[in-house]
Structure 1
Amino acid sequence: MDTAFKGMRIVIIAAVLFGFLTFGIADDTYTISIAHINDTHSHLEPSSISLTYNSSPFVVRAGGFPWITSAMTALRESRSNLLFLHAGDVFTGTVYFSKYQGLADVDFLNPMHLDAMTTGNHEFDKGPSVLAEFIKKAAFPVVSANLEISTESQLYGLIKPYTIIEKNGRKIGIAGLTTTETPYISKPGKSVKFNDIIKSAQTAVSALTTQGVNIIVILSHIGYDNDLVLARTLSGVDVIVGGHSHTLLGDNALSQVGLHPAGPYPTEVCAADNTTVLVVTAWEFGKILGLTDIDFDADGRIISYRGGQTVILPDTPVNTPETTEFYESDRTGITSNPRFQLVKEDPVAAQKLDNYTAPIKGFMSETIAYAEEPLKRANNHGPGPIITDSILQKTAASGAVIAIMNAGGVRIDLPKGNISIADAYSLMPFNNTIYVLKLKGSQIKDAIESTIEFQISKDKKPPFLYASGLGFTLDLSKPKGQRVKDMEIKIKQTYVPVRMNTFYKIAVSEYIAKGGDGFMPSQGTEAVSPLKAASSAVDTGFIDSEVFIEYIRALKTLKNPVELRIRMSQ
């Protein structure tokens, strides 16, 4: 193919893919383009998205590193001043991380020419040593201004507060930030300290300014709401590229297909120095690729910007029967939407993915525990109580004292004998993240009453759920709202009564947190999700199946619990 024609073709692809090109910019204006992803969590393959079109729900797969690679190639050819940034949480979430400990991820990110990444909390899930190996393989800087690692020998010198990138004669400063929740929801060890976010950020900005940098980007893993506070508080910052909260930003084009943006993309904030700060984040798992074109004057002030996010849809089905209908039917309604584009996979990256996938088959057959007796699903019986025990142990450092799992979230019985990784994923196939929610005792009781009623109405058979750290009596002879009594919470191996006006932290799957299986407390006259009712909510990012695998691998042998956590009234 003629080189000039090929270059023109790539420019056109990028224009179509992201819906805009830059024209009519003054000669003295400097434009940078920022492409970004966050919270990819080892989703090397495309991930499911539930959409609605013509009032009909359907599922498509989006993202995947071979397709993101292709999109980034087109963007780099079309934009001379392009930054590609990752706002943290590369680690933890799929079997690819379990098998390759982040090294598969970095093998994809390097050829994408990532310019910088900050550390998320999950980068510490396996301790400093695994993170250190990842950084050593990275061809890009890893930055975090509030990390103090001077006494952590494995990370010392590997993470800098900021980096400076020069493009076409202008310096761009990129400083990182990592959530201070990390010691409570991950395993950084005692040698890694997490300093104050705002003070650390302003110190980094001041250091960049003294070096003549007047375009400054904060690459943050503290969550969208905290990013907005940061934007209002700091001076000298132009853009905050965020992660951690898995927040979807966007416009009506996303709302039209059943997605629910939490704010505009970019979100414009007035800073402490009365300048404009643009806050962006790109949802999760690489399903969306964020892109913002920003025009600066000679003093580094934002003149104008154009931004948009694109849902990256593979142009053919990807080992997913549920998407076949979408690809075989009239796709005009989705593909004509400016936020959705079909993208061809990068052939080199696709072959690499195949190479990483092949060994997974053997990995999935690995034995991780032994069941000394059949584990059949029933009240207080089978895998369910063990799953809740694993969730509670994992989230105890976050303050959780109760873990609850819906019966429908436990999909199979486990026979006596060896339990493999494949068995664990079959047991919990939905790969829900775990939330820690702060609720009153009365709200927890209300939600349990609600899900019991939901099961009775739906299944017409005796209901049950699984719990750890919680006990109660269930009386099915009573009417709705009066079936749960004698609720107790386990404190240091002793059960004490649950106080209705006391707040407790409970750990549940994302499905339950969003009101799945009718697990919905009342708020005023309406039933709402626990996520909405909670006085605080943290998406830990831990995947329920991964947590269970880690837990039973340590136990080695399993048998049915003897504790009657949920008692049935006679």
Structure 2
Amino acid sequence: MKKFNLNVFIYTTLLTLLVTFIVPTNLQASASTGNFNLTILHTNDTHARVEQQPRLFTAVNTLRSQKANTLLVDAGDVFSGTLYFNKFNGLADLYFMNLLGYDAMTFGNHEFDKDSVTLANFIRQMNFPMVSANVNVTKDAYLSPLYRDFTGNPAEGGKIYPSIIKTIGGEKVGIFGLTTEETSILSSPSKDIVYEDSVQKARLTVDSLKRVGVNKIIALSHLGYKPDINLGQLVDGIDIIVGGHSHTTLDKPYVINKTEPTLIVQAGEHLNFLGSLDVTFNSTGVVTGYNGQLADLSTYSENQHVKTKVNEYKAELEEYTKRIVGKTDVFLNGERADVRTKETNLGNLITDSMVAKANQFVKTHIALQNGGSIRSSIQAGDITLGHVKTVLPYENTLVTLDLTGDELWKALEHGVSGVETVEGRFLQVSGIKYKFDLTKPVGSRVWSVEAKTDDGFKPLDKTKIYRVATNAFTADGGDGFTMFKKAKDEGRMKELFIVDYDVMVDYLSKYSLVSPKVEGRIIQEAQVSNGDTTAPNAPVVNGVKNSDKKVTGKAEAYTKISIYVGKNRIGYGTTKKDGKFSVSIKKKQKAGTNLIVTAKDKAGNVSKAIEIVVSSEDKGNGKGRGKDKGKGKDKGKGKGKK
């Protein structure tokens, strides 16, 4: 039996501890080296704005020269939006992305606007990887050969990975991608592509990166701003979310404060800005400091080498786009915030052209166009083919659907269900007049619909069949129009096989000079209950001093507050959902002045008037006491509601 050797035991124990603890620590991105500074330059939703590339080059190179450790990434939607995409299928954009040396990109929903052949051709020519943890392309014949089912370390350009690891300044940084699960209805992907749950896949991907010692993790997210906040709250371990999809302009990062905080950044749209985030990690990979801002590209000069190349692409489009196809006397409003929330004259022009073209085949009175498919405005003057194709870049074909009145009503309801977040499902219309109330819950907002018939506009009959022209995208359930998809699946659709820009060009050629107006087809208006003659309760008004510029208090929700001195109204406003109001007055009022305050409900009923005396700055004043004035404008109608 060998004699026990204490020195050998101690040496062996220390060696075991070294292997067990020190080696894994070294794998954790050299965490023992202390603080690490990283700059992330980011773009999103560029949508084929090729002519911004010369300024982008100057901005990127300027910032890179000032920073030691930089990444350049894109959060998706390079495809679609201008004729550069229609002509070059994303390859013009990619030329400059390769030249700039992007480090990674994730799929946007618009990367699936064309077929998988187009997307695969784009990816194959990338000098950097595509990252996506939740877009499953393994059954797609064209994309699956490009997919690698492991973390790229290092990653190869022209391939798709769930995640990659970049070594920057001796530190390991993990990057993975996520794409909105709604892509299956927002775009036109192959049926072989599956969009998996983003939160679940994010957790699994973060865990896999941590297991190989990565503690600095960036998500490239094409989910949208609000889903990004949800992602950051539900998934631990993501340090930075570089966002896209919602076209949100974040002047500074949104911070989710947790034990390990998460920063969210997004750079608007169309290469108007380059996002720049300076971030400091401590030795365990936790963000301890940051400075995020947007570089306004309009303030940067154009790189002349890049400008020359852009002009080469531009020259190829000239013959393609310069043909004049019509003229407008007025500005045609296709602004994103407008076509997705209200009636616009361009929406009217487009839908009128759809009705006109459909009528060449079958009698049609109604057309519906999702606002998300209208991508630009047109200035007054000559209209070229280029203008039209920029407005309608998706090459959707015209179809007609035979819908019940009930299905048509539900489609309008679906269209106004995302007004607050400016969703593309909002419907521009022809042959329809409808009203909706934003104070009502989703699903019960539309309260008046009239449809055009052979005998003019009539209240919508939910049991009647109406023929409706729309685009093939929505007819296939795009933007969530499941009632359209049902009609299509039941054989109630007629394909007209005419692309949308040709529909508009044909209409313009017939009418030459157009001057469409907003004419009350879509009205956002609170619904008033018939026969409501009961006045609201008198408002409760807080004390007013001679130094105050506002009058505050509480009344019934969504009532109109009027403030008078004598017969002169000096303030007007609306109460919020909780009934509170804060109404600016035209000027400060002298102490001793009598103010009269009333509340008017949606039906026009006016409360009893409240009289309050303005106090001096150094004297208190209680809340207003009600006095039924009985006379004067907006005063003293009816009894208070109980």
Aligned partners of 1:287 and 1:312 also within 8 Å = yes
Give the Å deviation of 1:77.
2.2
* 1:301 paired to 2:286: yes
Equivalent residues in 2 for 1:169-184, closer than 5 Å: 169-184=170-185
* 1:267 paired to 2:254: yes
Q: 1:37 aligns with which of 22, 33, 43?
A: 43
Give me the identity figure in percent: 31
Larger Rg: 2
User: Which whole-Å CA distance do the structure 2 matches of 1:39 and 1:380 have between them?
Assistant: 23
Q: Are residues 471 and 28 of structure 1, via their aligned partners in 2, closer, same or farther at CA, if it must alter by over 3 Å?
A: closer
Aligned partners of 2:353 and 2:504 also within 8 Å = no
User: Which whole-Å CA distance do the structure 2 matches of 1:294 and 1:567 have between them?
Assistant: 50
Aligned to 1:105: 93
Aligned partners of 1:91 and 1:101 also within 8 Å = yes
User: Which whole-Å CA distance do the structure 1 matches of 2:347 and 2:131 have between them?
Assistant: 47
Aligned to 1:67: 55
Q: 1:385 aligns with which of 341, 346, 352?
A: 352
Task: Give the aligned residue type for 1:106.
Answer: L
Q: Are residues 214 and 470 of structure 1, via their aligned partners in 2, closer, same or farther at CA, if it must alter by over 3 Å?
A: same
Equivalent residues in 2 for 1:417-496, closer than 5 Å: 421-422=385-386, 424=388, 467-468=429-430, 470=432, 487-488=450-451
- Which string of whole-angstrom CA distances, capped at 9 and with x for unpartnered residues, describes residues 52-98 of structure 1? xxxxxxxxxxxx11111111112222222101110100011111111
Q: 2:303 aligns with which of 339, 346, 366?
A: 346
Aligned partners of 2:350 and 2:504 also within 8 Å = no
Q: 1:152 aligns with which of 140, 145, 159?
A: 140
User: Which whole-Å CA distance do the structure 1 matches of 2:230 and 2:348 have between them?
Assistant: 46
Aligned to 1:357: 314
Equivalent residues in 2 for 1:279-298, closer than 5 Å: 279-298=264-283
3-state SS in 1 of match to 2:297? strand
Give the Å deviation of 1:567.
12
Q: Are residues 192 and 348 of structure 1, via their aligned partners in 2, closer, same or farther at CA, if it must alter by over 3 Å?
A: same
User: Which whole-Å CA distance do the structure 2 matches of 1:380 and 1:145 have between them?
Assistant: 37
Q: Are residues 163 and 549 of structure 1, via their aligned partners in 2, closer, same or farther at CA, if it must alter by over 3 Å?
A: farther
- Which string of whole-angstrom CA distances, capped at 9 and with x for unpartnered residues, describes residues 450-493 of structure 1? xxxxxxxxxxxxxxx972473689xxxxxxxxxx9861399xxx
3-state SS in 1 of match to 2:59? helix
Equivalent residues in 2 for 1:137-148, closer than 5 Å: 137-148=125-136
Q: 1:497 aligns with which of 441, 444, 460?
A: 460
Task: Give the aligned residue type for 1:266.
Answer: P
Q: Are residues 270 and 409 of structure 1, via their aligned partners in 2, closer, same or farther at CA, if it must alter by over 3 Å?
A: closer
Q: Are residues 86 and 409 of structure 1, via their aligned partners in 2, closer, same or farther at CA, if it must alter by over 3 Å?
A: closer
Aligned partners of 1:118 and 1:178 also within 8 Å = yes
Q: Are residues 401 and 386 of structure 1, via their aligned partners in 2, closer, same or farther at CA, if it must alter by over 3 Å?
A: closer
User: Which whole-Å CA distance do the structure 2 matches of 1:294 and 1:487 have between them?
Assistant: 56
Q: Are residues 275 and 469 of structure 1, via their aligned partners in 2, closer, same or farther at CA, if it must alter by over 3 Å?
A: farther
Aligned partners of 1:403 and 1:469 also within 8 Å = no
Give the Å deviation of 1:423.
6.6
- Which string of whole-angstrom CA distances, capped at 9 and with x for unpartnered residues, describes residues 515-538 of structure 1? xxxxxxxxxxxxxxxxxxxxx9xx
Q: Cα RMSD (Å) of the superposition?
A: 4.7
Task: Give the aligned residue type for 1:280.
Answer: V
Q: Are residues 485 and 307 of structure 1, via their aligned partners in 2, closer, same or farther at CA, if it must alter by over 3 Å?
A: closer
Equivalent residues in 2 for 1:236-247, closer than 5 Å: 236-247=237-248
3-state SS in 1 of match to 2:124? helix
3-state SS in 1 of match to 2:192? coil
Number of residue pairs the alignment of both structures matches: 374
User: Which whole-Å CA distance do the structure 2 matches of 1:269 and 1:507 have between them?
Assistant: 42
- Which string of whole-angstrom CA distances, capped at 9 and with x for unpartnered residues, describes residues 133-158 of structure 1? 11111111111100111110211123
Aligned to 2:102: 114
Aligned to 1:52: none
Q: Are residues 379 and 304 of structure 1, via their aligned partners in 2, closer, same or farther at CA, if it must alter by over 3 Å?
A: closer
User: Which whole-Å CA distance do the structure 1 matches of 2:226 and 2:320 have between them?
Assistant: 39
3-state SS in 1 of match to 2:214? coil
Task: Give the aligned residue type for 2:77.
Answer: D
User: Which whole-Å CA distance do the structure 1 matches of 2:352 and 2:214 have between them?
Assistant: 55
Q: Are residues 363 and 80 of structure 1, via their aligned partners in 2, closer, same or farther at CA, if it must alter by over 3 Å?
A: same
User: Which whole-Å CA distance do the structure 1 matches of 2:185 and 2:415 have between them?
Assistant: 25
User: Which whole-Å CA distance do the structure 2 matches of 1:75 and 1:412 have between them?
Assistant: 39
Q: Are residues 213 and 355 of structure 1, via their aligned partners in 2, closer, same or farther at CA, if it must alter by over 3 Å?
A: same
Give the Å deviation of 1:387.
5.0
Task: Give the aligned residue type for 2:48.
Answer: S
Aligned partners of 1:389 and 1:468 also within 8 Å = no
| Higher-RCO chain (CA-CA 8 Å, sequence separation at least 6) | 1
Give the Å deviation of 1:118.
0.5
3-state SS in 2 of match to 1:361? helix
Aligned to 1:456: none
Aligned partners of 1:368 and 1:549 also within 8 Å = no
3-state SS in 1 of match to 2:274? strand
Normalization by structure 2: what TM-score? 0.51
Give the Å deviation of 1:300.
0.6
Q: Are residues 360 and 199 of structure 1, via their aligned partners in 2, closer, same or farther at CA, if it must alter by over 3 Å?
A: same
Q: Are residues 469 and 66 of structure 1, via their aligned partners in 2, closer, same or farther at CA, if it must alter by over 3 Å?
A: same
Give the Å deviation of 1:128.
1.3
- Which string of whole-angstrom CA distances, capped at 9 and with x for unpartnered residues, describes residues 428-449 of structure 1? 6999xxxxx99976998xx9xx
Aligned partners of 2:135 and 2:195 also within 8 Å = yes
Give the Å deviation of 1:293.
1.0
* 1:214 paired to 2:215: yes
Give the Å deviation of 1:282.
0.5
5+ residue gaps, structure 2, are 1-31, 148-158, 327-344, 359-366, 395-408, 420-426, 436-446, 463-468, 472-480, 482-496, 512-518, 522-642
User: Which whole-Å CA distance do the structure 1 matches of 2:179 and 2:414 have between them?
Assistant: 35
User: Which whole-Å CA distance do the structure 1 matches of 2:205 and 2:346 have between them?
Assistant: 54
- Which string of whole-angstrom CA distances, capped at 9 and with x for unpartnered residues, describes residues 100-142 of structure 1? 1100000011111111100000001012111111111111111
Give the Å deviation of 1:247.
0.5
Aligned partners of 2:172 and 2:214 also within 8 Å = yes
Aligned partners of 1:388 and 1:467 also within 8 Å = no
User: Which whole-Å CA distance do the structure 2 matches of 1:242 and 1:113 have between them?
Assistant: 20
User: Which whole-Å CA distance do the structure 1 matches of 2:200 and 2:166 have between them?
Assistant: 23
Task: Give the aligned residue type for 1:193.
Answer: V
User: Which whole-Å CA distance do the structure 1 matches of 2:378 and 2:273 have between them?
Assistant: 30
Aligned partners of 2:378 and 2:387 also within 8 Å = no
* 1:129 paired to 2:117: yes
Q: Are residues 187 and 382 of structure 1, via their aligned partners in 2, closer, same or farther at CA, if it must alter by over 3 Å?
A: closer
User: Which whole-Å CA distance do the structure 1 matches of 2:249 and 2:222 have between them?
Assistant: 15
Normalization by structure 1: what TM-score? 0.57
5+ residue gaps, structure 1, are 1-25, 46-63, 251-264, 314-341, 370-377, 392-399, 432-436, 448-464, 474-483, 500-505, 509-535, 537-547
